[in-house]
């Protein structure tokens, strides 16, 4: 208590209220980079390469396995964790999920070859696997209706791709299954390229500070 306050208190016999310190609000500005282009490019390039195989252009080999583990898999998980730091629930769920999808898919191919576990005993296992990923993607597509047109194309085409691949495995060994597999491969190339486009559009638009490649943001 200051001398002036003590003197006033002694003279009047009253207690003088002390000033209350006001809380200081600190605002943290996020200046980290946008991880979405990394995740989209990792997904897009790996998807194109796998579906070139599905279209019958080359066999399933270590190139696809390596892309699935390191770029389609690990890079997307990293992008998802970075989206978590940016408080983006959609981005976190999408990139972490699809990164782990690639890792599980490679596991389905590699584990039986290493003798660690049996391959799926029936095609119905892969049908269920692909169907559920298609269902998840279809539900995530609903979220893109509040984001932008480019992501809507990516998620809608990916939903179709998963269900085409499920149909291919359900029809395995038939002529219809071969035709559906070819259609899935072509559609998958389109899906992957749409993700590559969305990624590079975000990069170029940020670098140049204007719209170079439109992504069609939704009016909120």
Report whether pLDDT(97) > 70.
yes
Report residue 49 CA to chain centroid gap: 18
Report whether pLDDT(16) > 70.
no
Alpha helices, DSSP H only, in 16-88?
Answer: 36-54, 62-66, 76-85
Place of tokens 């984001």: 147
Domain ranges of the chain: 35-208
Dist CA 122 CA 204 (whole Å): 46
pLDDT of the residue at 94: 98
pLDDT of the residue at 174: 94
Contact indicator for 167, 192 with CB cutoff of 8 Å: no
Going from the C-alpha of 202 to that of each of 13, 44, 215, the distances in angstroms are 70, 14, 8
DSSP structure class, residue 148: B
Tokens of 175: 């002529």
Could you read off the pLDDT of 32-86 as tens digits, one per residue?
899 999 999 999 999 999 999 999 999 999 999 999 999 999 999 999 999 999 9
Report whether pLDDT(12) > 60.
no
Contact indicator for 38, 75 with CB cutoff of 8 Å: yes
* Number of other residues whose CB lies within 10 A of the CB of residue 209: 7
pTM value? 0.85
DSSP structure class, residue 171: T
pLDDT of the residue at 192: 98
């Amino acid at each position: 208590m200051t001398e002036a306050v003590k003197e006033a208190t002694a003279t009047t016999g009253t207690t003088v209220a002390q000033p209350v310190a006001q809380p200081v609000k600190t605002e943290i500005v996020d200046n980290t980079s946008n991880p979405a282009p990394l995740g989209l490019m990792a997904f897009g390039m790996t998807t194109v390469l796998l579906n070139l195989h599905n279209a019958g252009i080359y066999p399933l080999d270590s190139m696809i396995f390596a892309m699935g583990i390191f770029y389609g898999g690990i890079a997307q998980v990293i992008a998802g964790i970075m989206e978590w730091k940016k408080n983006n629930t959609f981005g976190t769920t999408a990139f972490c999920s699809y990164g782990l999808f690639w890792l599980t898919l490679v596991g389905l191919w590699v584990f039986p070859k290493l003798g660690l576990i049996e391959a799926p005993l029936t095609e119905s296992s892969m049908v269920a696997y692909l169907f559920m990923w298609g269902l998840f993607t279809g539900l995530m597509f609903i979220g893109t209706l509040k984001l932008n047109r480019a992501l809507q194309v990516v998620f809608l085409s990916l939903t179709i791709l998963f269900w085409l691949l499920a149909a291919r495995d359900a029809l395995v060994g038939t002529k219809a299954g071969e035709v559906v597999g070819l259609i899935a491969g072509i559609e998958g190339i389109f899906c992957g390229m749409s993700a590559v486009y969305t990624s590079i559009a975000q990069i170029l638009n940020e670098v140049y500070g204007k719209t170079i490649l439109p992504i069609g943001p939704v009016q909120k």
